[in-house]
Chains A and B, each alone.
Chain A
Amino acid sequence: MDQSSFLKQAIESALAAKQSLSFTGEGSKKKWLPSVSENMLSTLEHRGIVSYDPSELVITVRAGTPIRELNMELAQHKQKLASDPPQYFGQGTVGGAVSSGFSGPGRPWQGALRDAVLGIELINGKSEVLRFGGQVMKNVAGYDVSRLATGAFGCLGLILSASLRVHPAAEHEQTFAFDFSAERAVEYCRSIARMPLPLSATCWVAGVLYIRLSGTEVALQAAQTKLGGELVLAEQLWPQVRDHQHSFFKPAAIDHEKPAGAKLWRLIVPPASVTPKVDEDALLIEWGGGLRWMWHSDDEFVAQYIREAGGWSWAMGEPIRLGEEECKYMSALKLAFDPHDLFSSPLKFEGHG
């Protein structure tokens, strides 16, 4: 259902009343984000597939469409979203996925979600409905606002709809397991990263490295002889990791195995970085080493690790910390789209603007 005029009116009213506003879909990512304005505008009613031509490899969907619905439609045509973003067991919406910009376990091989965003329709802070990008893969007309708005957590405006690049679904998928320490797992991931293999995801958790291959039957057979490892059934593993539902992600408060007061950290580091010296139960490693989840109670320990490895960290549920100079430009960009600072977002650019 097209609810764009209703949503536009809601933004106009908030603008007139000078009342700050934030956007939500199902709220499936709420627990990861700092709280925002009480005045929530839901996109849930604004749903449905606007256009889809499988041979063009692009689908245009309204923000409130559940990712599950989108995936079902794509599956009928043997296609899928390349980045496999978290869908929180069907609760997540397309708008939420694009706004948060989270990518799934296939990020290094299949691209980030933002890579798949070809175009968006956005209501900015002046309540103007604007279209950027389009439905074609190659498009360099104007600044790439579509990708700028991806992962902006709604701070630039309300994403009404998005055109997403889709890919043919792989004919086959297999997962191989290796009993490796965290350190050995990262080493192994880096050595195979240079080989032309149909890799589509890696995950190390609880002393086991899982490697997923996606492709044709012959490609998988050829890859298997090079990789070794034990073929395992992992139909549950990948969605659980993607949707942060694996038991590793269970909050410290209800999981007594985890150290008291531990926070869940998302560490983005160069993939070959050393593994942090912590109990192995406190680590989950994805993206061939490039994404590390860590439970830890000492902020300074994390900061020190990031200083040495390079990259950045985010304590889930807390604001993302940003460098001062970056904040200057991010804050200016937010005001360029939202001059009255109408949109309240979990992204904060403190001390600027």
Chain B
Amino acid sequence: MTQQNKRRQALELIRANLADENLITDTAGLRPYECDGLTAIREMPWAVALPQSEAQVIAILRICKEHHIPVVPRGAGTGLSGGARPNQDGLVLGLSKMDRIIEVDPLNCVARLQPGVRNLAISEAASEFGLYYAPDPSSQIACSIGGNVAENSGGVHCLKYGLTVHNVLGVRVVTSDGDTLELGGALYDTPGLDLLAVLNGSEGMLGIITEVTVALLPKPEQVVVMLAAFHTIEDAGKAVTNIIGQGIIPAGMEMMDQLAIQAAEQFAHAGYPQNAAAILLIELDGGAQEVENLCRQVERLVQASNAYHIDTATDEKEQMRLWKGRKSAFPAVGRISPDYYCMDGTIPRRQITHVLASIEEFSKEYGLRVANVFHAGDGNLHPLILFDANQPGELAAAEEMGGRILELCVAVGGTVTGEHGVGVEKLNQMCVQFNASELEQFFALKHAWDPHGLLNPGKGIPTLTRCGELGGMHVRHGEIAFPDIERF
């Protein structure tokens, strides 16, 4: 049988397992799937399948394995690193139609969910029991829990409440062999190797998640959001260190620089002081009296770091106003520039001032503006590089500059991605963070799960050849991650 006939046969087999409308092969229907949230990188898929049950997922994976068809899993398509970018000869396996909340179990404080359930819908469903799901990526209105697990998503509250991996107690996963594993559940420990941990953040390269059990937390009694404005970024950075140094872990602590403040203010009218060089948004939660005390303490600490303006919101409406500016920072920046490129490095907090100063130098060198939005509490930076793709060379310049920012993050002891994932976007920078043996170890791990390389090929981990070709570039920048380790 010719390759083409084989593929046609595979398609017919897949079609037999799905409702008609759940297999898409026409160009117009495929178009929405050609990229995820990283819109700069696109490719049309061969076909899109939208299963409605785990049984359908298993059937599709078995067909794809038999016919050697690569599978690109996709949740809500809000990912920011191209993790769900299709392969032109591959099937996109969209989990968005598996969107049922199977159970909210208030006794065990867990919810069992199909992978397509939206992040925000979990807290909405748990609310009647006084519970909520803590991780809240900015895209929480749209992003789905399966995607959150695949990316180990963060959000503004992970400083105190952890990332997805800390809040997921169980998953059901289908492997490329068609095996179904049930890992964890409403359980605080799993036996043997921690397969659950390694699935978190595995970017759809190890298995297809068909069910997730998340931990639900009691809603705090009192929440206060404080905005503090500073004349210099250094002062804002100092305030962050002082707060943590005093043993206070805010529920969230976010920093925005002047360009980000101005863009957000124009977009969301959150009442941010537009002349500030930096603002901090600090959320404190706990018991009523406890939060009142914390507030006074934090106020003193930010004042000691030269905050010139403090705005404290105690009612929910006011708090939403303050958060709205931060949560809409990305689209807001999208309005002041034709295009922007979002970075996602993490650095040790003590390096914040140094790294921001270097980013400013890069900005001058490349002639591209940068708006900085970041999770200051845990050192996760999101520099947004502003450019115009219609200007020749600007996209390439933005990408190169972004690469240098990420390499700087690694050089100061951080990482190239804090929460967006590697996807296709940060493959090159992975060569800076990991040496050849480490990359080979990653491939061996992948092979143990997916011996045929069926799931999300070409994502997450760069090949040694790719890193070899980039080798010269990193030497030129003068700093590599572990100079004492042999590089090939």
Which A residues are closer than 8 A to B by beta carbons? 53-57, 78-79, 101, 103, 107-108, 111-112, 114-115, 124, 126, 128-132, 134-145, 147-148, 150-152, 155-156, 167-169, 190, 193-198, 215-216, 218-219, 221-223, 268-272, 287, 290-291, 310-312, 314, 320-322, 325-330, 332-337, 339, 347, 349
Contacts and interface: CB of A to CB of B under 8 A. Distances in A.
B306 interface: no
A103 B445 contact: no
A144 B183 contact: no
Given A147-B198, A268-B188, A218 B287 contact: yes
Which 9 A-B pairs have CB atoms at the shortest separation, nearest pair first?
Answer: A168-B247, A138-B418, A332-B448, A147-B197, A336-B444, A270-B186, A272-B107, A196-B218, A139-B415
Contacts of B349: 55-56
Contacts of B159: 137
B433 A314 contact: no
A140 B445 contact: no
Nearest to B182: A323
B431 to A, nearest CB: 11
Interface string B288-326: 111001000000000000000000000000000000000
Given A138-B154, A140-B422, A222-B289, A130 B194 contact: no
Contacts of A325: 179-181
B106 interface: yes
B304 to A, nearest CB: 15
Contacts of A151: 193-194
Nearest to A155: B193
Given A143-B201, A143-B202, A219-B286, A115 B179 contact: no
A193 B109 contact: yes
Contacts of A287: 188
Contact of A326 (B162, B195, B448, B460): B195
A115 B162 CA distance: 9
A114 B200 CA distance: 13
B122 to A, nearest CB: 16
Contact of A336 (B106, B438, B448): B448
B204 to A, nearest CB: 12
Contact of B186 (A141, A197, A310): A310
Contacts of A219: 286-287, 289-290
A218 B183 CA distance: 40
Contact of A143 (B180, B247, B286, B445): B445
A108 B189 CA distance: 10
Contacts of A147: 165, 194, 197-198
Interface string B146-173: 0000011010001100110110000000
B425 to A, nearest CB: 12
Contact residues on B (Cβ < 8 Å of other chain), bracket: 35 or more
A335 B460 contact: no
A130 B438 CA distance: 6
Given A140-B418, A196-B218, 16 more contacts: A53-B350, A111-B166, A124-B441, A138-B415, A140-B152, A143-B445, A147-B165, A152-B194, A155-B193, A196-B219, A215-B286, A268-B189, A271-B109, A311-B185, A321-B191, A322-B191
A264 B394 CA distance: 66
Contacts of B456: none
Contact of A140 (B151, B179, B442): B151
Interface string B128-139: 011100000000
B426 interface: yes
A141 B348 contact: no
A101 B194 contact: yes
B154 A141 contact: no
A143 B192 contact: no
A136 B347 contact: yes
Interface string B321-348: 0000000000000000000000000111
B197 A114 contact: yes
Given A136-B346, A326-B181, A142 B218 contact: no
Contacts of A193: 109, 218
B27 to A, nearest CB: 33
B2 interface: no
B461 interface: yes
A108 B188 contact: yes
Given A269-B187, A270-B187, A311-B185, A322 B482 contact: no
Given A56-B349, A112-B188, A322-B192, A138 B221 contact: no
Given A144-B165, A145-B198, A330 B433 contact: no
A42 B109 CA distance: 41
User: Most chain-A CB neighbours within 10 Å: which of B130, B185, B350?
Assistant: B185
B115 interface: no
B200 A144 contact: yes
Given A269-B187, A270-B187, A347 B441 contact: no
B290 A216 contact: yes
A57 to B, nearest CB: 7
A328 B195 CA distance: 12
Given A136-B346, A145-B198, A311-B185, A336 B418 contact: no
B413 to A, nearest CB: 6
Nearest to A133: B415
A347 B193 CA distance: 8
A94 B378 CA distance: 24
Contact of A310 (B154, B185, B248, B293): B185
A342 B190 CA distance: 25
A223 B286 CA distance: 11
User: Most chain-B CB neighbours within 10 Å: which of A112, A140, A329?
Assistant: A140
Given A142-B422, A328-B179, A128 B437 contact: yes
B22 interface: no
B350 A55 contact: yes
B421 interface: yes
Contacts of B244: 55, 57
